Amino acid sequence: MIITRTPFRISFFGGGTDYPEWYKQYGGSVLNTTINKYCYIMLRPFPPFFKYKYQIRYRKSECCVKIDSIKHPTVRECLKFMGIDSGIELVHTADLPARSGLGSSSSFTVCFLHAINALNGKLITKRKLALDAIHVEQNLIKENIGSQDQTAAAFGGLNKVDFGGASNIIITPITPNHNIINKLQDNLMLFFTGFSRTASDVAGTYIKTLKKNNRKELFKMKEMVNYSIELLYNNKLDDFGKLLNESWKLKKTFSKNISNDTIDEIYAEALKCGALGGKLCGAGAGGFLLLYVPKEKQFFVKVALKDFLFVPFIFDTLGSQIILYNREEV
Protein backbone atom coordinates (compact mmCIF):
# COMPACT_ATOMS: atom_id res chain seq x y z
CA MET A 1 0.00 0.00 0.00
CA ILE A 2 1.13 3.51 -0.82
CA ILE A 3 -0.24 6.74 0.63
CA THR A 4 0.76 10.07 -0.88
CA ARG A 5 0.00 13.52 0.51
CA THR A 6 -0.03 16.67 -1.60
CA PRO A 7 -0.75 20.24 -0.45
CA PHE A 8 -3.23 22.78 -1.79
CA ARG A 9 -1.98 26.19 -2.81
CA ILE A 10 -2.79 29.87 -2.51
CA SER A 11 -1.81 32.16 -5.36
CA PHE A 12 -0.93 35.75 -4.45
CA PHE A 13 0.12 37.45 -7.68
CA GLY A 14 0.56 36.73 -11.38
CA GLY A 15 -2.42 34.43 -11.89
CA GLY A 16 -3.38 34.40 -15.55
CA THR A 17 0.21 34.72 -16.79
CA ASP A 18 0.68 30.98 -16.08
CA TYR A 19 -1.59 29.93 -18.95
CA PRO A 20 0.43 28.49 -21.85
CA GLU A 21 -1.62 30.57 -24.29
CA TRP A 22 0.10 33.56 -22.67
CA TYR A 23 3.50 32.53 -21.36
CA LYS A 24 4.71 30.69 -24.47
CA GLN A 25 4.77 34.08 -26.17
CA TYR A 26 5.24 36.63 -23.40
CA GLY A 27 6.54 34.68 -20.39
CA GLY A 28 4.71 34.33 -17.10
CA SER A 29 5.46 34.81 -13.42
CA VAL A 30 3.53 34.00 -10.24
CA LEU A 31 3.99 34.20 -6.49
CA ASN A 32 2.27 31.43 -4.59
CA THR A 33 2.51 29.24 -1.52
CA THR A 34 1.28 25.84 -0.47
CA ILE A 35 -0.62 25.51 2.80
CA ASN A 36 -1.08 22.81 5.42
CA LYS A 37 -4.28 21.52 3.84
CA TYR A 38 -3.83 18.37 1.80
CA CYS A 39 -5.30 15.74 -0.45
CA TYR A 40 -4.44 12.11 0.22
CA ILE A 41 -4.40 9.12 -2.10
CA MET A 42 -4.16 5.52 -0.99
CA LEU A 43 -3.09 3.24 -3.83
CA ARG A 44 -2.49 -0.51 -3.88
CA PRO A 45 -2.64 -3.43 -6.30
CA PHE A 46 -6.21 -4.66 -6.48
CA PRO A 47 -6.73 -8.29 -5.36
CA PRO A 48 -7.58 -10.55 -8.34
CA PHE A 49 -10.77 -12.00 -6.83
CA PHE A 50 -13.34 -9.79 -8.51
CA LYS A 51 -14.85 -9.38 -11.95
CA TYR A 52 -13.44 -5.87 -12.24
CA LYS A 53 -9.81 -4.62 -12.18
CA TYR A 54 -10.13 -0.99 -11.07
CA GLN A 55 -11.81 0.21 -7.90
CA ILE A 56 -11.80 3.99 -7.66
CA ARG A 57 -13.26 5.77 -4.66
CA TYR A 58 -13.53 9.55 -4.40
CA ARG A 59 -16.83 11.39 -3.88
CA LYS A 60 -18.19 8.64 -6.13
CA SER A 61 -17.27 4.97 -6.41
CA GLU A 62 -16.31 3.27 -9.66
CA CYS A 63 -15.67 -0.41 -10.36
CA CYS A 64 -14.40 -0.97 -13.90
CA VAL A 65 -12.95 -3.74 -16.03
CA LYS A 66 -11.21 -1.47 -18.53
CA ILE A 67 -9.35 1.80 -18.05
CA ASP A 68 -11.39 3.48 -20.79
CA SER A 69 -14.52 2.81 -18.73
CA ILE A 70 -13.28 4.95 -15.82
CA LYS A 71 -15.29 8.17 -15.71
CA HIS A 72 -12.88 10.18 -13.56
CA PRO A 73 -10.81 11.89 -16.29
CA THR A 74 -7.64 12.36 -14.24
CA VAL A 75 -7.57 8.76 -13.02
CA ARG A 76 -8.27 7.42 -16.51
CA GLU A 77 -5.67 9.55 -18.29
CA CYS A 78 -2.98 9.11 -15.63
CA LEU A 79 -3.30 5.33 -15.81
CA LYS A 80 -3.07 5.41 -19.60
CA PHE A 81 -0.16 7.89 -19.53
CA MET A 82 1.78 5.72 -17.07
CA GLY A 83 1.01 2.50 -18.97
CA ILE A 84 -0.73 0.79 -16.05
CA ASP A 85 -2.50 -2.42 -17.10
CA SER A 86 -2.67 -4.24 -13.76
CA GLY A 87 -5.58 -3.77 -11.37
CA ILE A 88 -5.42 -1.01 -8.77
CA GLU A 89 -7.51 0.26 -5.90
CA LEU A 90 -7.53 4.02 -5.28
CA VAL A 91 -9.06 5.87 -2.35
CA HIS A 92 -9.01 9.68 -2.27
CA THR A 93 -9.75 12.03 0.60
CA ALA A 94 -8.97 15.69 1.28
CA ASP A 95 -8.95 18.36 3.99
CA LEU A 96 -10.86 20.87 1.85
CA PRO A 97 -13.61 20.59 -0.77
CA ALA A 98 -12.89 20.36 -4.48
CA ARG A 99 -13.71 23.16 -6.92
CA SER A 100 -12.91 25.81 -4.35
CA GLY A 101 -9.97 27.72 -5.88
CA LEU A 102 -7.02 26.14 -4.07
CA GLY A 103 -5.73 24.02 -6.94
CA SER A 104 -7.42 20.83 -5.74
CA SER A 105 -7.66 19.19 -9.16
CA SER A 106 -3.95 19.65 -9.82
CA SER A 107 -3.07 18.50 -6.29
CA PHE A 108 -5.04 15.32 -7.06
CA THR A 109 -3.16 14.83 -10.33
CA VAL A 110 0.24 15.34 -8.70
CA CYS A 111 -0.72 13.13 -5.76
CA PHE A 112 -1.89 10.30 -8.03
CA LEU A 113 1.12 10.44 -10.36
CA HIS A 114 3.41 10.38 -7.33
CA ALA A 115 1.64 7.28 -6.04
CA ILE A 116 1.76 5.50 -9.41
CA ASN A 117 5.49 6.11 -9.73
CA ALA A 118 6.01 4.67 -6.25
CA LEU A 119 3.85 1.68 -7.17
CA ASN A 120 6.11 1.12 -10.19
CA GLY A 121 9.21 1.40 -8.00
CA LYS A 122 10.32 4.67 -9.59
CA LEU A 123 11.77 7.76 -7.92
CA ILE A 124 10.45 10.89 -9.62
CA THR A 125 11.82 14.41 -9.22
CA LYS A 126 9.56 17.27 -8.25
CA ARG A 127 10.15 18.92 -11.64
CA LYS A 128 9.22 15.77 -13.58
CA LEU A 129 6.17 15.34 -11.36
CA ALA A 130 5.01 18.89 -12.09
CA LEU A 131 5.65 18.61 -15.85
CA ASP A 132 3.85 15.26 -16.09
CA ALA A 133 0.84 16.68 -14.25
CA ILE A 134 0.79 19.70 -16.58
CA HIS A 135 0.91 17.38 -19.59
CA VAL A 136 -1.95 15.22 -18.32
CA GLU A 137 -4.22 18.15 -17.52
CA GLN A 138 -3.47 20.43 -20.46
CA ASN A 139 -2.75 17.97 -23.29
CA LEU A 140 -4.59 14.75 -22.42
CA ILE A 141 -7.66 15.98 -20.53
CA LYS A 142 -7.49 19.32 -22.38
CA GLU A 143 -8.61 21.43 -19.45
CA ASN A 144 -8.51 25.22 -19.48
CA ILE A 145 -5.91 25.36 -16.75
CA GLY A 146 -2.64 27.13 -16.05
CA SER A 147 0.69 25.67 -14.96
CA GLN A 148 1.20 27.11 -11.49
CA ASP A 149 -1.06 24.71 -9.56
CA GLN A 150 0.82 21.55 -10.55
CA THR A 151 4.18 23.21 -9.89
CA ALA A 152 3.14 24.45 -6.46
CA ALA A 153 1.68 21.08 -5.46
CA ALA A 154 4.82 19.21 -6.49
CA PHE A 155 7.44 21.57 -5.02
CA GLY A 156 5.67 23.10 -2.00
CA GLY A 157 6.75 26.27 -0.23
CA LEU A 158 6.53 30.01 -0.86
CA ASN A 159 7.93 30.47 -4.37
CA LYS A 160 8.24 32.73 -7.33
CA VAL A 161 7.64 30.60 -10.43
CA ASP A 162 8.64 31.83 -13.88
CA PHE A 163 7.22 30.21 -17.02
CA GLY A 164 8.77 30.33 -20.48
CA GLY A 165 8.38 27.72 -23.21
CA ALA A 166 6.59 24.39 -23.02
CA SER A 167 8.80 23.04 -20.21
CA ASN A 168 10.84 26.04 -19.06
CA ILE A 169 9.85 26.46 -15.43
CA ILE A 170 12.10 28.23 -12.91
CA ILE A 171 11.27 27.91 -9.21
CA THR A 172 12.78 30.50 -6.88
CA PRO A 173 12.09 30.00 -3.15
CA ILE A 174 11.20 33.24 -1.35
CA THR A 175 13.08 33.37 1.94
CA PRO A 176 12.67 36.61 3.87
CA ASN A 177 13.30 36.74 7.61
CA HIS A 178 11.37 34.04 9.47
CA ASN A 179 9.58 36.69 11.51
CA ILE A 180 8.27 38.25 8.30
CA ILE A 181 6.86 34.92 7.15
CA ASN A 182 5.18 34.40 10.50
CA LYS A 183 3.67 37.88 10.42
CA LEU A 184 2.44 37.36 6.85
CA GLN A 185 0.76 34.11 7.88
CA ASP A 186 -0.80 35.83 10.89
CA ASN A 187 -2.26 38.58 8.71
CA LEU A 188 -3.89 36.26 6.18
CA MET A 189 -7.45 35.02 6.61
CA LEU A 190 -9.23 32.39 4.53
CA PHE A 191 -13.02 32.13 4.29
CA PHE A 192 -15.10 29.57 2.42
CA THR A 193 -17.87 31.29 0.50
CA GLY A 194 -19.73 28.04 -0.06
CA PHE A 195 -19.91 28.51 -3.82
CA SER A 196 -18.27 25.74 -5.81
CA ARG A 197 -17.32 25.90 -9.47
CA THR A 198 -15.09 24.18 -11.99
CA ALA A 199 -12.00 26.29 -12.63
CA SER A 200 -11.68 25.03 -16.20
CA ASP A 201 -15.21 26.24 -16.99
CA VAL A 202 -14.61 29.69 -15.48
CA ALA A 203 -11.21 30.09 -17.12
CA GLY A 204 -12.68 28.95 -20.42
CA THR A 205 -14.71 32.17 -20.53
CA TYR A 206 -11.59 34.33 -20.82
CA ILE A 207 -8.27 32.55 -21.45
CA LYS A 208 -8.66 32.35 -25.23
CA THR A 209 -9.02 36.14 -25.43
CA LEU A 210 -6.40 37.07 -22.82
CA LYS A 211 -3.70 38.05 -25.32
CA LYS A 212 -6.15 40.11 -27.35
CA ASN A 213 -8.24 41.82 -24.65
CA ASN A 214 -6.12 41.90 -21.49
CA ARG A 215 -2.49 42.35 -22.51
CA LYS A 216 -2.04 45.54 -20.51
CA GLU A 217 -3.56 43.99 -17.37
CA LEU A 218 -1.52 40.79 -17.65
CA PHE A 219 1.77 42.66 -18.04
CA LYS A 220 0.82 44.71 -14.99
CA MET A 221 -0.03 41.58 -12.98
CA LYS A 222 3.29 40.04 -13.96
CA GLU A 223 5.12 43.18 -12.75
CA MET A 224 3.31 42.91 -9.43
CA VAL A 225 5.10 39.63 -8.71
CA ASN A 226 8.56 41.18 -8.39
CA TYR A 227 7.17 44.23 -6.60
CA SER A 228 5.32 42.05 -4.06
CA ILE A 229 8.52 40.10 -3.35
CA GLU A 230 10.38 43.38 -2.70
CA LEU A 231 7.65 44.32 -0.24
CA LEU A 232 8.08 41.02 1.59
CA TYR A 233 11.85 41.33 1.90
CA ASN A 234 11.49 44.92 3.11
CA ASN A 235 8.84 43.96 5.67
CA LYS A 236 6.19 46.19 4.07
CA LEU A 237 3.42 43.70 4.63
CA ASP A 238 0.52 46.14 4.73
CA ASP A 239 1.56 47.36 1.29
CA PHE A 240 1.59 43.71 0.22
CA GLY A 241 -2.03 43.47 1.35
CA LYS A 242 -3.00 46.62 -0.52
CA LEU A 243 -1.34 45.25 -3.65
CA LEU A 244 -3.61 42.20 -3.40
CA ASN A 245 -6.54 44.56 -3.72
CA GLU A 246 -5.08 46.15 -6.86
CA SER A 247 -4.44 42.74 -8.38
CA TRP A 248 -8.01 41.62 -7.65
CA LYS A 249 -9.40 44.70 -9.39
CA LEU A 250 -7.34 43.89 -12.48
CA LYS A 251 -8.37 40.25 -12.52
CA LYS A 252 -12.06 41.12 -12.40
CA THR A 253 -11.67 42.89 -15.74
CA PHE A 254 -10.95 39.55 -17.45
CA SER A 255 -14.54 38.30 -17.35
CA LYS A 256 -17.87 39.05 -15.70
CA ASN A 257 -17.84 35.42 -14.49
CA ILE A 258 -14.85 35.91 -12.17
CA SER A 259 -16.95 37.55 -9.46
CA ASN A 260 -20.62 38.28 -8.74
CA ASP A 261 -22.71 40.63 -6.62
CA THR A 262 -22.62 38.37 -3.56
CA ILE A 263 -18.83 37.99 -3.65
CA ASP A 264 -18.41 41.74 -4.19
CA GLU A 265 -20.61 42.46 -1.16
CA ILE A 266 -18.64 40.06 1.04
CA TYR A 267 -15.35 41.58 -0.09
CA ALA A 268 -16.58 45.16 0.40
CA GLU A 269 -17.73 44.33 3.92
CA ALA A 270 -14.30 42.86 4.74
CA LEU A 271 -12.57 46.03 3.50
CA LYS A 272 -14.97 48.14 5.55
CA CYS A 273 -14.01 46.19 8.68
CA GLY A 274 -10.25 46.51 8.24
CA ALA A 275 -9.02 44.20 5.47
CA LEU A 276 -6.45 45.91 3.26
CA GLY A 277 -6.89 43.59 0.29
CA GLY A 278 -7.71 40.12 -0.86
CA LYS A 279 -8.97 38.00 -3.72
CA LEU A 280 -10.94 34.95 -4.65
CA CYS A 281 -8.52 32.06 -4.89
CA GLY A 282 -8.12 30.34 -8.23
CA ALA A 283 -10.03 31.13 -11.41
CA GLY A 284 -12.77 33.01 -9.54
CA ALA A 285 -16.57 32.76 -9.29
CA GLY A 286 -16.57 31.23 -5.81
CA GLY A 287 -14.71 28.97 -3.43
CA PHE A 288 -12.23 30.43 -0.94
CA LEU A 289 -11.79 34.14 -0.28
CA LEU A 290 -8.29 35.17 0.86
CA LEU A 291 -7.99 38.38 2.84
CA TYR A 292 -5.05 40.34 4.19
CA VAL A 293 -6.17 41.72 7.57
CA PRO A 294 -3.88 43.26 10.22
CA LYS A 295 -4.12 41.28 13.44
CA GLU A 296 -5.92 44.00 15.39
CA LYS A 297 -8.73 44.11 12.79
CA GLN A 298 -9.36 40.40 12.43
CA PHE A 299 -12.03 40.15 15.14
CA PHE A 300 -14.19 42.68 13.29
CA VAL A 301 -13.78 40.84 9.98
CA LYS A 302 -14.72 37.53 11.62
CA VAL A 303 -17.87 39.08 13.05
CA ALA A 304 -18.83 40.67 9.74
CA LEU A 305 -18.25 37.38 7.87
CA LYS A 306 -19.73 35.16 10.59
CA ASP A 307 -21.93 33.36 8.06
CA PHE A 308 -18.87 32.00 6.27
CA LEU A 309 -16.46 29.33 7.46
CA PHE A 310 -13.11 30.72 8.64
CA VAL A 311 -10.23 28.31 7.88
CA PRO A 312 -6.94 28.90 9.75
CA PHE A 313 -3.79 27.73 7.96
CA ILE A 314 -0.01 27.96 7.87
CA PHE A 315 2.38 27.60 4.96
CA ASP A 316 3.53 24.16 3.81
CA THR A 317 7.15 23.77 2.74
CA LEU A 318 7.46 20.14 1.64
CA GLY A 319 5.24 19.68 -1.39
CA SER A 320 4.03 16.24 -2.49
CA GLN A 321 5.24 13.40 -0.28
CA ILE A 322 5.01 9.65 0.10
CA ILE A 323 3.91 9.22 3.71
CA LEU A 324 3.42 5.44 3.66
CA TYR A 325 5.13 2.78 1.57
CA ASN A 326 4.26 -0.77 2.64
CA ARG A 327 6.57 -2.88 0.48
CA GLU A 328 4.80 -6.16 1.21
CA GLU A 329 1.46 -4.91 -0.06
CA VAL A 330 3.08 -3.31 -3.12
Question: Is residue 195 pLDDT above 70, yes or no?
Answer: no
Q: How far is CA 60 from CA 90, 101, 197, in A?
A: 12, 21, 18
Q: Mean of the per-residue pLDDT values for the chain? A: 91
Q: Which domain holds residue 42?
A: 2-174+317-325
Read off the pLDDT of each residue in 83-107 and give the average, rounded to a whole number: 93
Do 80 and 35 lie in one domain? The reply is yes
DSSP at 294: -
Average pLDDT (180-195) is 93
Q: Residue 150 domain-assigned?
A: yes
Are 139 and 67 in a shared domain? yes
Instruction: Please indicate, yes or no, whether residues 258 and 164 belong to a single structural domain of this protein.
Output: no
Same domain membership, residue 265 and residue 117 = no
- Note the pLDDT of residue 199: 47
Is 330 a domain residue? no
216 and 72 within one domain: no
CA distance 302 to 310: 8
The pLDDT tens digits for 198-250 are: 544 555 555 566 656 678 999 999 999 999 999 999 999 999 999 999 999 99
Contact 151, 29 (CB under 8 A): no
Judge if 121 and 16 occupy the same domain. Answer: yes
**126 compared with 166, residue with greater pLDDT:** 126
The CATH number of the domain where 109 resides is what? 3.30.230.10
Between CA 324 and CA 318 the distance in angstroms is 15
In a domain, 156, yes or no: yes
Per the structure, how many domains does the chain have? 2
- pTM flag (> 0.85): yes
> What is d(CA 167, CA 329) in angstroms, rounded to the nearest whole number?
35
Q: Dmax over Cα atoms in the chain, in whole Å? A: 62
| % of the chain exceeding 70 in pLDDT | 91
The helix (run of H) or strand (run of E) holding residue 302 is helix 298-304
β-bridge mates for residue 309, sequence order? 192
CA distance 99 to 149: 13
